[in-house]
Amino acid sequence: MDSDENARKKEEWLERMKREGKLTRNPTEDHKFGLKVLQNTTRREILISLGSERKSYEEIKEKFNLNDSMANFHLNMLEDALYIEKIEEEGKVFYAQTPRGEGYVENVEMKK
């Protein structure tokens, strides 16, 4: 993906988040919440594992050996912090990185 397409994708995502009312925290609180979410190793690993592909709820549960309660807890935290998004298609639930999640993985995890 070239930089123009990446910038367009990010802008479209931000606009959608604003329309859906998901960008409600002030920037300072938003960063604190994001840091809290990513302090957990399992959540970081889930985010990294999504990569450029979306994964089903069941795939994530299986890969990380999570029960429904723990899977929902971790996925909801990542979704609330806008690192991933839930996609529902044909009765199945999938998760994918958002531009924010992609940025974290690219700028933090890949530089370790």
Q: How would DSSP label each residue in 43-64? A: HHHHHHHHTTS-EEHHHHHHHT
- Is residue 84 within 8 A of residue 98, CB to CB? The reply is yes
One pLDDT digit (tens) per residue for the chain, 112 residues? 577 887 788 788 778 777 777 766 666 677 788 889 999 999 999 999 998 889 999 999 999 999 999 999 999 999 999 999 999 999 999 999 998 899 889 888 776 6
- In this prediction the pTM is 0.79
- Is residue 69 within 8 A of residue 63, CB to CB? The reply is no
Looking at domain 25-111, which of 3.30.70.270, 1.10.287.610, 3.40.50.2300, 1.10.10.10 is its CATH number?
A: 1.10.10.10
In the DSSP assignment, the letter for residue 13 is H
Domain spans, the chain:
25-111
